Structure 1
Amino acid sequence: MTQDMRDTCLHDWTEREAIAESMIPVIGGLYRNRNVITSLYGRAIINRSVIEIMKAHRFVRHIENEEISVQDTFPILQVLSELDVNSIHVDIGRLAVKFRKQGEGRELRQFVIDELGDAVGQPENFGENRDVVLYGFGRIGRLLARILVEKSGAGKALNLRAIVVRRGKGNDLEKRASLLRRDSIHGTFRGTVTIDEENEALIANGNYIKIIYANNPAEIDYSQYGINNALVIDNTGVWRDEDGLGQHLKSKGVSKVLLTAPGKGDIKNIVYGINHNDIDAADTILSAASCTTNAITPVLKVMNDEYGIKNGHVETVHSYTNDQNLIDNYHNGDRRGRSAPLNMVITETGAAKAVAKALPELKGKLTGNAIRVPTPNVSMAILSLNLSRDVSVEEVNDYLRNMSLNSDVQRQIDWVNSPEVVSTDFVGNSHAGIVDAKATIVNGEHVNLYVWYDNEYGYSRQVVRIAHQLCGVEYPTYPARG
C-alpha cells in the first residue's frame, strides 16, 4: 500500500468520524425536545458513541448488499431537525437507501417531507407518562429497567416508578443498584445510578425509582407513592394464572398486569408482531409468552404464509438459566439438578405447542424439545419444517431477508449471512429471532432453519413493545414498509 493510499484511508475515516460527532447532538435534540426517535435499520443510535454510530452504518451492507455512510444519513437528520415533526420513529438508514433508489430527482428535503406525509405539521402530542412497576428484579427485570430508563425520553413514555422485591440480607439497596450498574453478559449500564438511602430509591439517569419491599402484592398500596393507573410487569414467574396474577389488580394504583412467562388458562399469550392486535382495551392481564415462542413464531408465520407448513419439529438449544443448579443438587425437574455449566441437559419445552396460542393455524402441527447448554445467554431454535412445495436455499433465504427488511415483522425477524458468526455476536440484539442464512438447509420440501435469539435482551424488547401498546404510547414509524 502506498503512502497516498494510507493517507486517503485515514482522511476518509477522520472525515466520517467528524460527521458522526456532529450527528450526536442532532439525534439527542430530536429525541429530548420532540420525541423523534431515530434509528438505523432497527439499530438504536440514541445515546450511542461515535464508533457505535459508524458501526451501525457499516451493518447495513450485510442486509442491503450496499454501503451507506454518515454522509448519506446526516443530511436527513438535518432536514428532520428543520421540520415540524413530533412523537415519531424515523429509520434514517432506510430513508437514505430509499432516497438513493427512489428519489426520482427530488431534492432531499422534499423526499423526506413526502415520506413523512401527515406527520409533518402535526401538533405536539407528547401525551402523559404511564406509570410502570416491575414486580421482581432478576435477569429480565433488570434488562426491562435498563430499556425503560433508556426510552424515558421527553414525554409520552413508560415511566418506571417502582421496583418490588423481597428485602435481602445486608445492604440490599446497594446490591440492587450494583446489579443494575454492572452485568457480566450485557455490560455496564448506559448512564449513572445513584442511591437515595433515606427514601429507599434508585435514581437512574434522572428517573426516580422507588424500591418497595414486599412479600406479596396484597401488602402494597402504590397510590401512597403517587403511582396510579399503573402497569405491573411481573417477571417473577411465581404466578402464571388469572387468580394469582389477579392479586396485583387488588393493589391500589394498578390497572393492568403483564406476565413475562407463558400464561396459563385463558390468559392471552401475546407475541408482539404476530397477535398483538388481539389485545383489547378491556384486557387487564396478559402474557408475553416465552423467549423461545417469541423467537420462532414470527419466522414460522412468514414461512407458513408463503409456503405452507404441513408439520415440523422445533429443537431449542438454550443457554442455561437460574432455574438450574451450578453443581449437582436436588431439583424438582428431570435432569435439571445436574450442573448447568458442565453439561448439556435434555429437557422439555412448551414453545412448540405455545406457538398455536399466537398462531392458531399451526395448532397440532409442531413438536418440540430442548437442550440446555453451558452458555449463559443467546440461544438457538432449529426449525425442521415440511412445506407444501419444493423450495431452494436461495429462495428461502431471499424471502426471509426481505421479510426482515420490508414486512410487519421486521422488528421481530433479523437476518445474517456471515460464515463466522457465533452465539456471543447476538448479545444485545433487539429482534425476537435472527435467521442464520448460511446455516439454512433445503431438501425438496424439507427445510431446516437456524434461528438465533438473545433469550434475555431480545425477549425483553418484545415485552416492552407489548407494554407500549397496553399503555397507548406507541409511535408511528417511517418510512413506510415495502
Structure 2
Amino acid sequence: MTATEDSFTNWKTREEIAESMIPIIGKLHRERDVTVLLHSRSLVNTSVVSILKTHRFARQIAGEELSVTETLPFLHALTALDLGPSQIDLGMLAATYRSDDRGLSVADFTAEAVAGATGANKTERRESRDVVLYGFGRIGRLLARLLIEKTGSGNGLRLRAIVVRQAAGQDLVKRASLLRRDSIHGQFQGTITVDEANSRIIANGNEIQVIYSDDPTTVDYTAYGIKDAILIDNTGRWRDREGLSKHLRPGIGKVVLTAPGKGDVPNIVHGVNHDTIKPDEQIISCASCTTNAIVPPLKAMADEYGVLRGHVETVHSFTNDQNLLDNYHNSDRRGRSAPLNMVITETGAASAVTKALPDLQAKITGSSIRVPVPDVSIAILNLQLGRATSRQEVLDHLRDVSLTSPLRRQIDFITAPDAVSSDFIGSRHASIVDAGATKVEGDNAILYLWYDNEFGYSSQVIRVVQHVSGVEYPTYPAPAV
C-alpha cells in the first residue's frame, strides 16, 4: 500500500468512527441533557467533518492532534453511567487520563472524573425557562439561532416570543427570511416556517410568538402563556434601571441588556464576574462585545503577572449605527460612510473594565477605530505588567488558560501564521489570542485579541442567561482553578 493509499484509508477509518459518535452524542443530549464538548467546543448537532476538524484543531493549542480513536472510548464510557445534566469535555478527559499514572481503565477513570454528575450527585433536570427577545436585529437574530439550537433536549432555555415594532408589508415573512439567511453567518441550520394567521415563526419545531409593540409597558406576556421569562433587550434603547424596569411586566422575571448598563446596573462578563449576580437581581447588563473580549485575558494576565496600567486600541468592524454613505449622524465622524472609511470613535470598554474587575487597580485607557469589514474585530491590549517575563512564558500561560482554566470558554488560542479576521466568523469564544502577533519585552506585553463582535458576544450573552436561569450545568472534568 502506498503512502497516499494509507493516508486515505486512515481518513476513511476516522470518518467512520466520527460517524458512529454522532448518534451517541445526540442521545446523551436529548435524553440526559448532557452536552459533549471537545476543548470547550460543542459536538452536538455537528457533522462528521466538523467532529474531525475539531479534533484536529487541538494540535494548535495542545501541540498535537487529538484522534477520534482516543476519544471514542470515553464517549462509550459515558453511556454506561447514570449521568445527569452536565457538560462533558472529551478533550479534557483524554488529556487528564494521559497524565494519570494509576493504571485505571478508561471506564473507571471516566466514572471518577465525572462523579459529580452521576448517581446521587447529579443535578436534576429542570423545566425549561421561557425567554423573550425584545428587538430582532443583528444580535437578536443570532441569539434566536443559539436559543433554538439549545432546545434539542427539551429542557434549558425556550425562546417563546419576539417583540418588534410593526413594519409595513409582509413584516413576518421578511423577519423570518432574515433569520433563515445571513450574509455573514450563513444559512440557519434547520427549517423555518411562517404562521401568519397566528403571528408565529416556527423554527425547528419551536413556536415563536411575534408580538408587535413599541412600548414595553403595554405588553402582557401571560396572555401568550409566558411565565417568569428572561427578557433580553437587544435594542439598546434603555440602559439604566429605570428604563429597563419597563420590561418587568406580567410574565417577565428578569431583564438582560445586550449593551453596557448605566448607573447601578451590574455589567457582567461571563467567566469573570457572573458569580456575583445576586439571586434576586432582576436587571443586569452583559456589557459590550469589546468589554467581553478584553476582560477575560486581562484577568488572566493580572492573576499571573499583575497589571500596573494598560491601553486597549480596538479595530472594530462597522455596525448598523453608522451610515452606508455620508449623512447626518448625532455622533462625530460616524456620519461618514462606514464601508469607505476608517472612522475614529470612542469606546466605553476601558472604563467598563472596572465594573467587571473591581479589584484591578490598574488604570486602563481605550480608543477605537471602525474599519470597513462587516464582522470580527481585534483588540490590541498593551499592558505594563507587575514583573518581567518572556514571550514564551506568556504564550504558554495563555495556552494553558484556554485549555484548562475556568476561562477556557471565553479565551481561545491560535498559532496559525496567516490568520485574518474572516477566519473567526462564528467563533463562540469572547476573544482569541493570536500567538504569532504577541509581543513581550521585559514587563511590557502586547496582546492581539480577535473577536467575533456579533456571534462571540451573543454566545457570552446566552451563557449569562443560562446562569441566571439556573440551567448552566457544571462542566467535567472540572477546570483547574
Letter in 2 for 1:118: G
User: What RMSD over aligned residues (CA atoms) do the two structures have, in Å?
Assistant: 1.2
Aligned residue in 2 for 1:148: 147
Say whether 1:371 aligns with 2:369: yes
**1:53-72 counterparts in 2 under 5 A?**
53-72=51-70
Letter in 1 for 2:83: V
Structure 1: segments with no counterpart, 5+ residues: none
Per-residue CA deviation, residues 59-99 of structure 1 (Å, 9 max, x unaligned), is: 01111112211111122111111211020100112212222
Letter in 2 for 1:159: R
Rounded Cα–Cα distance in structure 1 between residues aligned with 2:329 and 2:342:
16
Aligned residue in 1 for 2:191: 192
Aligned residue in 2 for 1:470: 468
**1:257-276 counterparts in 2 under 5 A?**
257-276=255-274
2:285 counterpart (284, 287, 299): 287
Contact 1:384–1:448 (Cα < 8 Å) also in 2: yes
Rounded Cα–Cα distance in structure 2 between residues aligned with 1:219 and 1:416:
48
Cα pair distance change 1:386/1:32, threshold 3 Å:
same
Aligned residue in 1 for 2:403: 405
Rounded Cα–Cα distance in structure 2 between residues aligned with 1:150 and 1:211:
19
**1:237-248 counterparts in 2 under 5 A?**
237-248=236-247
Rounded Cα–Cα distance in structure 2 between residues aligned with 1:312 and 1:68:
37
Contact 2:92–2:404 (Cα < 8 Å) also in 1: no
Aligned residue in 1 for 2:168: 169
2:414 counterpart (413, 416, 437): 416
Aligned residue in 1 for 2:181: 182
**1:58-207 counterparts in 2 under 5 A?**
58-102=56-100, 104-122=102-120, 125-207=124-206
DSSP-derived class of the 2:66 partner: coil
Contact 1:103–1:111 (Cα < 8 Å) also in 2: no
Per-residue deviation at 1:364?
Answer: 6.1
Per-residue deviation at 1:363?
Answer: 5.2
DSSP-derived class of the 2:262 partner: coil
Say whether 1:314 aligns with 2:312: yes
The alignment covers a number of residue pairs equal to: 479
Contact 2:307–2:362 (Cα < 8 Å) also in 1: no
Rounded Cα–Cα distance in structure 2 between residues aligned with 1:383 and 1:298:
12
Contact 1:397–1:437 (Cα < 8 Å) also in 2: yes
Aligned residue in 2 for 1:435: 433
Contact 1:200–1:210 (Cα < 8 Å) also in 2: yes
Aligned residue in 1 for 2:382: 384
DSSP-derived class of the 2:99 partner: helix
Rounded Cα–Cα distance in structure 2 between residues aligned with 1:24 and 1:406:
25
Cα pair distance change 1:148/1:103, threshold 3 Å:
farther
Letter in 2 for 1:325: N
DSSP-derived class of the 1:183 partner: coil
Say whether 1:359 aligns with 2:350: no
Contact 2:55–2:68 (Cα < 8 Å) also in 1: yes
Rounded Cα–Cα distance in structure 2 between residues aligned with 1:25 and 1:124:
23
Rounded Cα–Cα distance in structure 2 between residues aligned with 1:120 and 1:387:
43
Letter in 1 for 2:375: N
Per-residue deviation at 1:124?
Answer: 7.2
Rounded Cα–Cα distance in structure 1 between residues aligned with 2:133 and 2:104:
48
Rounded Cα–Cα distance in structure 2 between residues aligned with 1:93 and 1:407:
13
Per-residue CA deviation, residues 349-406 of structure 1 (Å, 9 max, x unaligned), is: 0100110011123356011000000000000100111112211111111111111112
Cα pair distance change 1:285/1:308, threshold 3 Å:
same
Question: Identity over aligned residues, as a percent?
Answer: 58
Per-residue CA deviation, residues 392-445 of structure 1 (Å, 9 max, x unaligned), is: 111111111111112111111111112111111111111111111111112221
Per-residue deviation at 1:155?
Answer: 3.8
Per-residue CA deviation, residues 132-152 of structure 1 (Å, 9 max, x unaligned), is: 000000011001000011011
Rounded Cα–Cα distance in structure 1 between residues aligned with 2:395 and 2:263:
37
Cα pair distance change 1:259/1:89, threshold 3 Å:
same
Rounded Cα–Cα distance in structure 2 between residues aligned with 1:473 and 1:158:
8
TM-score, scaled to structure 1: 0.97
TM-score, scaled to structure 2: 0.98
Rounded Cα–Cα distance in structure 2 between residues aligned with 1:447 and 1:10:
44
Higher mean C-alpha deviation, range 254-263 or range 360-369: 360-369
Per-residue CA deviation, residues 14-58 of structure 1 (Å, 9 max, x unaligned), is: 111111111111110010011110011111211111111110000
Aligned residue in 2 for 1:24: 22
DSSP-derived class of the 1:445 partner: strand
Say whether 1:393 aligns with 2:391: yes
Letter in 1 for 2:131: V
DSSP-derived class of the 2:408 partner: coil
Aligned residue in 2 for 1:212: 211
Per-residue CA deviation, residues 430-476 of structure 1 (Å, 9 max, x unaligned), is: 11111111111122211111011110111111101110111111111
